Structure 1
Amino acid sequence: MKFVLTCLTTLPLVAGLAHAASDSEWQSLFDGTSLSGWRVINGSAKYEVVDGAIVGTTQAGSPNSFLATERSFGDFILEFETKQTVGPSNSGVQFRSQSKPEVMQGRVHGPQMDLDPSERQWTGGLYDEAMSGWWYPGTLNPQPGLYKFNEWNQIRIEAVGPSLRTWVNGQLSAYVLDATYKDGFIALQVHSIDKPDEAGRKILWRNMRIKEHPAASPAAATIFVRNNLPNDLSEVERQQGWQLLWDGTSMTGWRSVKRDGPPANGWRIKDGELIVTGSGGGDIVTEKTFGAFELQLDFKLTPGANSGIKYYVADDGTGNAVGLEYQLLDDDRHADAKQGKDGNRRLASLYDIQPRERLMTNVGIAPKVGEWQHARIVAKPDGTIEHWLNGVKVLSYQRGSEDFQRRVAASKFKDIAGFGQLEQGRILLQDHGDEVRFRSIKIRTL
């Protein structure tokens, strides 16, 4: 049996979905025989029902196409099976998504769970379609080989309040906390294609069921949690050992490198942001010291800005605070990007010692000055250090290794005995004379 839909239509609701289900009720989102309750938005890819499955087919010259539910959903659990055949083609499932004439002329936007059989294998990742880009790329929780091309895969999406989670074949794949979207339609994506010979690739969905207004699942996970709520510490993060290193309202736990207490000027707190104004207040450091740790924070650079996050900082209160530095820089506008050696003064590099790797250009991963970016430093007990930028590891090194010592010897720190070798040190935020904003500063010991 086959039913074909290739254009925008107005369709009745699927029977039984006109009213919200109780906590214990699952409802079919697809009746298995027709596309009743669904409509195509944006593109011209073909959607049809074949043998009890919705089949989407890539088409040359079409932008991203979406088969969307007629009604909206807020809190829910969605389960379905999916398979991709003929050739690998990126796809995804939108949820809490929108299409409004006044927003990008009706372009579909909102959260999407990625379906990706390509070599990068980011299936399960969460992407803000047509808006801010990647919230949770597959780099944050690699699961090679979990999603099977040309086989049926079990998928689960849970959206309860700001908690957004995905599972692939029974494995938790992504965990995001974000309050941007409260409700919206669910939509099945057939991605645009780059080459004519990629036309005819198929994405299939079946056994789609949904439970509305579910009780939240236990807040437990071992994978990294991407929390986009400013200065928020969720229950799952507490269970993982995270704590706020900055409380969002005061300078408690921080002091000037020049004296006891906070700087007299040059730093201010406004609307949950810790702002270095560039007016000469000097660096600030944590009152506590840390050994093995994981640190994360959001930062926003102004055009041409230079700053840094230093760690394993030795600070005697005189202002001579020295430590390893995660560089914060506007690479395009600040001259320091061209200084040093092999780009070791660029954004996310180990300043003047080791350059970061080449950055991905994906939306939400490629850094943008004037927008919030996410920095993460992992300092393991064995001396391994990782720098992450927007969910992607961009640098790794071993403190004390022969390679590390060789790089230090070629740097501006060559005359500092034991540089970078402290067992315990402070965290420092640098005042380099430019305005930079910080928020959601968190740390956990390892």
Structure 2
Amino acid sequence: MKSTATFCLFLLLAVNVFGQAPWKDLFNGTDFKGWVKRNGTAEYKIADKTIIGISQLNTPNTFLCTEELYSDFVLELEVKVDPGLNSGIQIRSISDPAVMNSRVHGYQVEIDPAERAWSGGLYDEARNGWLYPLAINPQGQKAFKNGQWNKYHIEAIGSSIKTWINGIPCTNLLDNQTARGFIALQVHAIRQEVQNGLTVQWRNIRIATTSLKDCVWQGGEEAPEVNYLPNQLSESEKRKGWRLLWDGKTSTGWRKFNADAFPSAGWAIQDGVLKVLSSHQDSTRSGGDIISNEEFSNFELELDFKVTVGANSGLKYFVQEDRKSKSTAGLGPEFQILDDQNHPDAKAGVGGNRTTGSLYDLIAAENLSEGTTEKRMNPPGKWNKLRIVSKDGHVEHWLNNLKTVEYDRHSQVFRNLIAKSKYSPHPKFGQAPAGHILLQDHHDEVHYRSIKIREF
């Protein structure tokens, strides 16, 4: 008996040491105790210790939600879905009668059997759209196996959210919008009769909320990191050479175009946001364009921007100053920033080449990452992420982590575009070996933050 007791004690200690004890089953395999259905009317049933969600016409997204809320955790489960049905796993999500009439919103780990293969990416349900599309992680796109059971491993610890499918890193995200919420299993709304009755299945659902160091997986950095923490650099970004181009507090490093000082009017710095102020009613309030003190050649630039209704602005690069001209508007290739739905400039130009994400007046923005024209821009009042990559003449525009424009500024094709555009009087447009970064004052209120850069 003594030896048996000793052996049992050894097993208990081994379980704690090797990280099994923290796990708790979220689904008991027999009923929906601890879960509640929200928003839609799609059916959930149980068979063989598996939760089965069944798609249904004429109902919004339906969510089977845990009654308990979770903050830091590691979640594991297996998933299988019929082709033709999109789904997801909500984490740190919210349903509040005071917000969107209790509509479930928050982080969603994607289940996507479609050709684009974004399973494991992170979508912000009913809030900010795609935070981490798998277009930026080609290896992660290979993880999900259609028609098979797939193991999801999800870590939400502090501001870090990481996902793996079948052991392959998919999402590597930093974001601090929501620290606590429920977990939910989604049956997505459908619009076609052929999708009616399709199923998504979940099994072996377990969670750890304590001793997380015993449950987290090493690595995950193979998935490119995306950082939404305002005006903050992650340790990984610092190691890779990123630095803040705007410190989030002062005008240090920036000045008015063709001038020595930052504008005394027209721009404001408040709560970590750099604002262009509206000056339509009073032109004396206009501050003019601002530029970085430094010039850049081969670089990667990121920032967040938020437009107001009907607003127009832009980010220019390879901008050259000419103090003799006394011009207040800098000249250079421009990443257009615009309220496409409400500003008339969106319909000007040629083929949409003045819409957000475009190379202004030269190349129209498209969703090159998905092969569509849907750019997935967030509307006025919500933040969008801008990225520009410039290396040895090759330039890319990215909007919310989806590529919108790609060109070679030293090519004959580019020179031909210039010759047929408003820039034709400037044959050397965009050809400078290095130049300033410029934020445009177009007399409309636009917000900027998290301006950061690294040089190659």
SS at match of 1:287: strand
Kindly provide the CA deviation profile for residues 161-185 of structure 1, in whole angstroms up to 9, marking residues without a partner as x. Answer: 1211222222222233222222121
Structure 2 letter corresponding to 1:212: T
Structure 2 letter corresponding to 1:78: L
Closer/same/farther in 2, CA of residues 93 and 334 from structure 1, 3 Å limit:
closer
Whole-angstrom distance in 2 between the partners of 1:281 and 1:23: 61
Q: Which residue of 2 aligns with 1:302?
A: 308
Kindly provide the CA deviation profile for residues 303-336 of structure 1, in whole angstroms up to 9, marking residues without a partner as x. Answer: 3332211111122445553211111223344343
Structure 2 letter corresponding to 1:248: G
Q: Is the 8 A contact 2:419 2:427 kept in 1?
A: no
Kindly provide the CA deviation profile for residues 354-374 of structure 1, in whole angstroms up to 9, marking residues without a partner as x. Answer: 221267658xx2342333222
Instruction: Write out aligned runs for 1:239-318 (5 A).
Output: 239-277=239-277, 278=279, 279-317=285-323
Closer/same/farther in 2, CA of residues 97 and 371 from structure 1, 3 Å limit:
closer
Q: Which residue of 2 aligns with 1:128?
A: 124
| Alignment of 1:99 onto 2:92 | no
Q: Which residue of 2 aligns with 1:380?
A: 391
Q: Which residue of 2 aligns with 1:344?
A: 353
SS at match of 1:323: coil
The alpha-carbon deviation at position 219 of structure 1 amounts to 8.6
Kindly provide the CA deviation profile for residues 324-351 of structure 1, in whole angstroms up to 9, marking residues without a partner as x. Answer: 1111223344343343333322222112
Instruction: Write out aligned runs for 1:30-429 (5 A).
Output: 30-85=27-82, 87-142=83-138, 143-213=140-210, 214-215=212-213, 221-277=221-277, 278=279, 279-317=285-323, 320=327, 321-357=330-366, 361=374, 365-381=376-392, 383-429=393-439
Structure 2 letter corresponding to 1:136: Y
Pick which of 195-204 and 211-220 moved more.
211-220
Closer/same/farther in 2, CA of residues 168 and 428 from structure 1, 3 Å limit:
same
Whole-angstrom distance in 2 between the partners of 1:295 and 1:350: 15
The alpha-carbon deviation at position 50 of structure 1 amounts to 2.2
Closer/same/farther in 2, CA of residues 38 and 210 from structure 1, 3 Å limit:
same
Q: Is the 8 A contact 2:315 2:336 kept in 1?
A: yes
Identity of matched residues, %: 47
The alpha-carbon deviation at position 155 of structure 1 amounts to 0.9
Closer/same/farther in 2, CA of residues 193 and 332 from structure 1, 3 Å limit:
closer
Q: Is the 8 A contact 2:141 2:170 kept in 1?
A: no
> Which consecutive unaligned segments of at least 5 residues does structure 2 have?
1-18, 280-284
Kindly provide the CA deviation profile for residues 222-256 of structure 1, in whole angstroms up to 9, marking residues without a partner as x. Answer: 54433333212222322333211100111111122
Q: Which residue of 2 aligns with 1:12?
A: none
The alpha-carbon deviation at position 34 of structure 1 amounts to 3.8
Pick which of 69-78 and 429-438 moved more.
429-438
Instruction: Give the TM-score of the pair, scaled to structure 1.
Output: 0.87
Pick which of 154-163 and 58-67 moved more.
58-67
Kindly provide the CA deviation profile for residues 11-52 of structure 1, in whole angstroms up to 9, marking residues without a partner as x. Answer: xxxxxxxxxxx9962222223344332232233333233223
The alpha-carbon deviation at position 217 of structure 1 amounts to 6.8
Whole-angstrom distance in 2 between the partners of 1:91 and 1:219: 26
| Alignment of 1:26 onto 2:23 | yes
Instruction: Give the TM-score of the pair, scaled to structure 2.
Output: 0.85
Kindly provide the CA deviation profile for residues 177-203 of structure 1, in whole angstroms up to 9, marking residues without a partner as x. Answer: 222222121111111221233222121
> Which consecutive unaligned segments of at least 5 residues does structure 1 have?
1-21
Whole-angstrom distance in 2 between the partners of 1:345 and 1:29: 50
> Which has the larger helix fraction?
2
Closer/same/farther in 2, CA of residues 212 and 360 from structure 1, 3 Å limit:
farther
Closer/same/farther in 2, CA of residues 301 and 219 from structure 1, 3 Å limit:
farther
CA RMSD of aligned residues (A): 2.4
